[in-house]
Protein backbone atom coordinates (compact mmCIF):
# COMPACT_ATOMS: atom_id res chain seq x y z
CA UNK A 1 0.00 0.00 0.00
CA UNK A 2 1.28 3.44 -0.94
CA UNK A 3 2.48 5.57 1.99
CA UNK A 4 1.85 9.29 1.52
CA UNK A 5 3.54 12.16 3.34
CA UNK A 6 4.48 15.78 2.71
CA UNK A 7 7.55 14.74 0.71
CA UNK A 8 5.73 12.64 -1.88
CA UNK A 9 2.25 14.27 -1.87
CA UNK A 10 2.90 16.28 -5.03
CA UNK A 11 4.10 13.27 -7.03
CA UNK A 12 1.70 10.62 -5.69
CA UNK A 13 -1.46 12.66 -5.07
CA UNK A 14 -1.46 16.09 -6.72
CA UNK A 15 -0.24 14.73 -10.08
CA UNK A 16 -2.42 11.62 -10.02
CA UNK A 17 -4.83 11.28 -12.95
CA UNK A 18 -7.34 9.42 -10.77
CA UNK A 19 -8.68 10.36 -7.32
CA UNK A 20 -6.55 9.34 -4.33
CA UNK A 21 -8.02 8.15 -1.01
CA UNK A 22 -5.67 8.65 1.95
CA UNK A 23 -6.34 6.84 5.22
CA UNK A 24 -4.89 8.92 8.07
CA UNK A 25 -4.29 6.48 10.93
CA UNK A 26 -2.12 5.64 13.94
CA UNK A 27 -0.76 2.39 15.39
CA UNK A 28 -2.38 3.05 18.81
CA UNK A 29 -5.86 3.71 17.33
CA UNK A 30 -8.26 0.76 17.80
CA UNK A 31 -10.86 2.02 15.26
CA UNK A 32 -8.00 2.45 12.75
CA UNK A 33 -6.93 -1.17 13.26
CA UNK A 34 -10.55 -2.34 12.91
CA UNK A 35 -10.99 -0.37 9.68
CA UNK A 36 -7.67 -1.39 8.05
CA UNK A 37 -8.92 -4.70 6.55
CA UNK A 38 -11.97 -2.93 5.09
CA UNK A 39 -9.75 -0.23 3.56
CA UNK A 40 -7.51 -2.86 1.97
CA UNK A 41 -10.44 -4.93 0.68
CA UNK A 42 -12.20 -1.93 -0.85
CA UNK A 43 -8.90 -0.78 -2.40
CA UNK A 44 -8.88 -4.00 -4.45
CA UNK A 45 -12.49 -3.42 -5.58
CA UNK A 46 -11.65 0.05 -6.91
CA UNK A 47 -8.25 -0.83 -8.40
CA UNK A 48 -7.60 1.31 -11.48
CA UNK A 49 -10.43 3.71 -10.59
CA UNK A 50 -9.14 5.13 -7.30
CA UNK A 51 -5.69 5.05 -5.72
CA UNK A 52 -5.56 4.10 -2.04
CA UNK A 53 -2.82 5.28 0.31
CA UNK A 54 -2.08 5.49 4.01
CA UNK A 55 -0.52 8.14 6.23
CA UNK A 56 0.67 7.40 9.77
CA UNK A 57 -0.17 10.59 11.64
CA UNK A 58 2.47 9.97 14.32
CA UNK A 59 5.23 9.90 11.71
CA UNK A 60 3.69 12.77 9.72
CA UNK A 61 2.15 15.11 12.30
CA UNK A 62 2.60 18.34 10.34
CA UNK A 63 1.19 16.79 7.15
CA UNK A 64 -1.87 15.50 9.05
CA UNK A 65 -2.38 18.91 10.68
CA UNK A 66 -2.04 20.73 7.36
CA UNK A 67 -4.87 18.54 6.06
CA UNK A 68 -7.08 19.33 9.05
CA UNK A 69 -7.07 15.80 10.47
CA UNK A 70 -8.61 16.09 13.95
CA UNK A 71 -9.99 12.54 14.48
CA UNK A 72 -8.88 9.19 13.13
CA UNK A 73 -9.39 7.14 11.14
CA UNK A 74 -9.90 9.92 8.62
CA UNK A 75 -10.14 9.15 4.93
CA UNK A 76 -9.66 12.11 2.61
CA UNK A 77 -10.33 11.85 -1.12
CA UNK A 78 -8.18 14.11 -3.30
CA UNK A 79 -8.94 15.01 -6.92
CA UNK A 80 -6.31 17.01 -8.80
CA UNK A 81 -4.47 17.55 -5.51
CA UNK A 82 -7.47 19.17 -3.82
CA UNK A 83 -9.70 17.69 -1.12
CA UNK A 84 -12.92 16.44 -2.71
CA UNK A 85 -14.38 14.60 0.27
CA UNK A 86 -13.78 13.35 3.79
CA UNK A 87 -15.01 10.43 5.89
CA UNK A 88 -14.22 10.24 9.60
CA UNK A 89 -14.48 7.22 11.86
CA UNK A 90 -14.71 3.49 11.35
CA UNK A 91 -16.87 2.78 8.27
CA UNK A 92 -18.74 -0.35 7.31
CA UNK A 93 -17.66 -1.77 3.99
CA UNK A 94 -21.01 -1.03 2.32
CA UNK A 95 -21.08 2.58 3.54
CA UNK A 96 -17.45 3.17 2.54
CA UNK A 97 -18.07 1.76 -0.96
CA UNK A 98 -21.24 3.84 -1.34
CA UNK A 99 -19.44 7.04 -0.36
CA UNK A 100 -16.49 6.34 -2.67
CA UNK A 101 -18.72 5.85 -5.72
CA UNK A 102 -19.42 9.60 -5.64
CA UNK A 103 -15.79 10.23 -6.64
CA UNK A 104 -15.67 8.03 -9.74
User: Which residues form the catalytic set?
Assistant: 29, 32
The radius of gyration of the chain's CA atoms, rounded to the nearest angstrom, is 12
Order of strands across the sheet that contains 82-88: 2-3, 51-56, 20-25, 74-79, 82-88
Amino acid sequence: MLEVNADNFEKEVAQSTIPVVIDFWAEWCSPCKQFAPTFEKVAKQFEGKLTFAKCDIDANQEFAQSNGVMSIPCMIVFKNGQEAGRMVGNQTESLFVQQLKAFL
